[in-house]
Amino acid sequence: MPETTQFAGMGDGSSSDGGGLKPNTILLARYKVLGILGGGGMGTVYKARDLNFPDVTRYVAIKEMLNPNTDPNLRATTLRTFQREANILATLTHPAIPKIFDFFDQNDRAYLVMEFINGSDMENIMAKAKDIPSDKVLEWSIDLCDVLDYLHKNQPEPIIFRDMKPSNVMIDHLGKVRLIDFGIAKNFVSGVKNTMIGTEGYSAPEQYKGDVNPLSDIYSLGATLHHLLTRKDPRLEPPFSFHERPIKEFNAKCPQGLIDIVMKALAFEAKERFQSCAEMKTALERLRYGAQSAAIAVATPNKPATGPQDGPKETNFFDDMAATGTIQAKWQFTTEDEIRSTPASYKNLAFIGSYDTNVWALKLDTGEFVWKFPTRGGIAASPVVDTENRLVLFGSEDYSFTAVDANAGRINWMYPTKDKVRGTARVAHGHVFFGSDDGRLYALVAANGRYLWEYDTGAPVRSRPYVTNEIVIVGSDSGEIVGLELSGKRKWSYRTKRAVTSSPYVDMLEGICYVGSMDGYLYAIDATSGFSSWRFRTGGQVVSSPIVEDGICYFGATDGILYALNAQTSRERWKFDAGKPIVSSPIAHKGSIYFGGTDGYLYCVDALTGKERWKFQTKGAITSTPYIADNTILIGSLDKTLYALPLVG
């Protein structure tokens, strides 16, 4: 894939003052400018290297606001626009939206430091690709609906993107959709008129009148998809004339179902379009996966799975399911010993470690064996994937940490420790961080295993470290939780009364670290200073690792209860009693919480109420964490089996 064209829609790549930042310019003694990614009258976007990571190459994108206006009022207005973009991005957390790292001003110019996206925008892809398959357009359209739905559901006010078009959508090097250039995104206030802004040809009819709303983005998405499918640029055609360019005439292979969806999104009257991106996404998923998947229908022992006769019934679907026996595995794969680790995936492969000393690679869709990599000890640590280097990384009880090629299973590098490695690693900033029973937390270069540093906690480290842009947080069997700088230097420590094998979770917006301890408490600690915010006592040990979703902290305890707490106050929202100890960590997905129990069940409960939606029974205790990939939920059990279930909650 060619060099990134992030922010390519801004202009021709030249700065408005004819100068701009020169290569090798260093901002804030941290960001070294390498070159220009894009630009225009509003500013320039540069590719830069973050010098805070001297041992690895970490790129960022820096958007510079040049603000050439001489009129003080115009200068202030332009700066407010730039600040609004920064504020919008800072509040958003979605895989399709670039992360924002920094915002500062220097020499009368403002700068926004963002995630560097290696890929190409859709407009560039169209220019270079002879044909884009309809199923690929369908896949991208589902992802775009998902991110637009996320923006439209923003609180307290929806965010309208207002400029959906191919040049504002990137496909990164992993093939994932990324929405870029939020320069004209706006919080939506009903009934308020705005100046016409957007791109002619893609903008909805009402947008030309200054009346923009979430349905306007649906129209622009339809225009974008029409362009991808027909190769007819709407900017070169009369406004609102898509019906005069039937998709079938330009793309005979395009499914009629996709054509119908695109044309509904392009309805001139807003009331005739899809009334939400979620509704449009459901229609697209129904087309891509069939009625069974879109309605999330599953087989029961006595009744085959069928699609709904009158469309999905979201309000009572789970009420119609029996408590057990209705969820059938897509496939299952049995290893030679207990599975204590959490699965991982990369593209079309699933990975699982087993106490039979092997890491196994299976086809994600069928469970078919692809390869296995043997170690000399049991594997309790979960494999993790370094997507940039296409590596699967894992520790073993043979005193080693290993990286193997994800596709072929061949060893890439191996690093010896002084004791068993039972802690799961974390890949971040081009490094891999992991703990060992030798008491040390290690930091290595992920690509080649080169040693960077180690921190001695004095006790086994089986907690998975959490890594932010500034700090590494991990617990140890001594009961100590430490916060380290990325250099490995200790910044703070916090002491609990028992071992900490629970993995920390940091709420980046609030700056709070949540972690459990064998002393029966869940702790909320300031991630920057290590000061205690609150602690919550359970009736058992907390081995389970917490997560935070929509302001609620979820975690399990050995008293058999899954807790849901207000993340800021620790006030209990609800609790779910599984009856037996919970050491599995929960995950959240689209309003559901999934976790395993030592009673052998995988549970799905409603995130808001704690009401059980369904459960799936294995033949052994579940100590690992569920994992979601490609509409499939993977879970390992001590019955030696990895199960792949349809994602139904």
Q: What is the pLDDT of residue 6?
A: 56
Whether residues 193 and 224 fall in one domain: yes
Q: How confident is the model at residue 308 (pLDDT cuts 50, 70, 90)?
A: very low
- Mean pLDDT, the chain, whole residue set: 86
Cα Rg of the chain, angstroms: 26
Residue 195 has pLDDT above 90, yes or no: no
Tens of pLDDT along 281-300? 989 988 876 533 333 333 33
Query: Which runs of consecutive H residues, i.e. helices, occur in 28-119?
Result: 72-90
Question: Are 182 and 247 members of one domain?
Answer: yes
CATH number of the structural domain spanning residue 162 = 1.10.510.10
Close Cβ partners of 205 (under 8 Å, ≥ 6 residues apart): 219, 239, 240, 268
Q: Checking phi first, is residue 570 left (phi over 0); if not, alpha (psi -120 to 50) or beta? A: left
Q: Residues 46, 145: one domain?
A: no
pLDDT recorded at residue 280: 95
**CA neighbor of 602 nearest in space, from 631, 637, 562:** 637
Total domain count, the chain: 2
What gap in Å lies between CA 331 and CA 450, rounded to an integer? 38
Q: Taking Cα atoms as reference points, which of 457, 462, 339 lies closest to residue 395?
A: 462
At residue 146, the 3 state secondary structure works out as helix
3-state SS of 555-618 is EECCCCEEEEEECCCCCEEEEEECCCCCCCCCEEECCEEEEECCCCEEEEEECCCCCEEEEEEC
The confidence band for 212, taking pLDDT boundaries of 50, 70 and 90, is confident
Q: In this structure, what DSSP letter does residue 165 have?
A: S
In a domain, 565, yes or no: no
Which of 177-191, 429-443, 548-562 has the lowest average pLDDT?
177-191
Q: Does the pLDDT of residue 524 top 90, yes or no? A: yes
pLDDT of residue 325 exceeding 80, the answer is: no
Least confident stretch, 28-37, 156-165, 251-260, 269-278: 156-165
| pLDDT bucket at 154, cuts 50 / 70 / 90 | confident
Assess if residue 189 is contained within a domain. Answer: yes
Q: How far apart are CA 400 and CA 404, in angstroms?
A: 13
Which of 16-25, 152-161, 372-381: highest mean pLDDT? 372-381
**CA atoms lying within 13 Å on the CB side of residue 131:** 8
| Residue 182 burial class via C-beta count within 10 angstroms: exposed 0-12, middle 13-18, buried 19 and up | buried
pTM of the complete model: 0.54
pLDDT of residue 37: 84
Dist CA 419 CA 118 (whole Å): 38
Contact 497, 487 (CB under 8 A): no
Residue recorded with tokens 């407009």: 123
The tokens for 200 are 């002619």
Specify whether 177 is located in the same domain as 220: yes
> Residue 430 is which amino acid?
G
Cα separation values, 131 from 90, 142, 251, 356, 618, Å: 36, 19, 10, 46, 45
Give pLDDT, residue 112: 86
> According to the model, what pLDDT value does residue 306 have?
33
pLDDT at 476: 96
End position of a domain, from candidates 294, 325, 346 = 294
Please determine, for residue 642, whether its predicted confidence score (pLDDT) is greater than 50. yes
For position 8, what pLDDT does the model report?
Answer: 45
Residues 86 and 191 in one domain: no
Residue ending a domain, choose from 115, 139, 163:
115
Rounded-to-integer distance, Cα 154 and Cα 156, Å: 6
pLDDT band at 9 (very low <50, low <70, confident <90, very high): very low
pLDDT-wise least confident of 189-203, 345-359, 486-500, 502-516? 189-203
272 and 128 in one domain?
A: yes
> Residues 75, 170: one domain?
no
Are the beta carbons of 633 and 647 closer than 8 angstroms? yes
Q: Is residue 354 part of a domain?
A: no
pLDDT tens digit sequence for 372-399: 998 888 999 999 999 999 999 999 999 9
pLDDT at 76: 75
Q: Is residue 49 in some structural domain?
A: yes
Say if residue 93 is in the same domain as residue 198. no
Residue predicted with more confidence, 311 or 457: 457
232 occurs within a structural domain = yes
The residue written with tokens 């408590």 in the block is: 323
- For residue range 483-494, list pLDDT tens digits in order: 999 999 999 999
Asked if residues 464 and 501 have their Cβ atoms less than 8 Å apart, the reply is no
Residue 181 lies in a domain: yes
Which residue, chain included where needed, has tokens 């690509």? 447
**Position 402 in a domain:** no
Q: Which H/E stretch holds residue 350?
A: strand 349-353
Report helix, strand or coil for 265: helix
Tell me the mean pLDDT in the region 67-79: 72
N- to C-terminal Cα distance for the chain?
A: 35
134 and 260 together in one domain: yes
- List of residues 6+ apart from 131 with CB closer than 8 A: none
| Mean pLDDT, residues 441-466 | 96
Task: Give CA–CA dist 55/42, Å, rounded.
Answer: 34
| Statement to judge: residues 240 and 138 lie in one domain | yes
Strand partners, 185: none
Examine the pLDDT at 230 and tell me if it is beyond 80: yes
Same domain, 186 and 201: yes
Between 80-89, 235-244, 544-553, the lowest mean confidence (pLDDT) is in: 80-89
Q: What is the mean pLDDT of residues 579-601?
A: 96
- 419 domain-assigned: no
Domain ends where: 264, 294, 324? 294
According to DSSP, the β-strands at 431-435 and 426-428 are antiparallel
List the single range of 73-77, 251-255, 305-309 with lowest mean pLDDT. 305-309
**Backbone angles phi and psi of 395, in degrees to 5:** -105, 160
Q: Is the dihedral of CA 245, 249, 251, 255 positive or negative?
A: positive
Identify whether residues 133 and 34 lie together within a single domain: no
Q: According to the model, what pLDDT value does residue 66 have?
A: 66
> What does the block give as tokens for 477?
């069997």
CATH of the domain at 54: 3.30.200.20
Banded pLDDT at 497 (limits 50, 70, 90): very high
Work out the percent of the chain whose per-residue pLDDT is above 70: 87
620 pLDDT above the threshold of 90: yes
Q: CA 387, CA 8: separation in Å to the nearest integer?
A: 25
- 337: exposed, middle or buried (Cβ count in 10 Å: 0-12, 13-18, 19+): middle
Check residue 53 and give its pLDDT.
Answer: 82
Q: What domain range is 101 assigned to? A: 8-115
549's enclosing H/E stretch is strand 547-549
Minimum mean pLDDT among 160-174, 556-570, 573-587: which range?
160-174
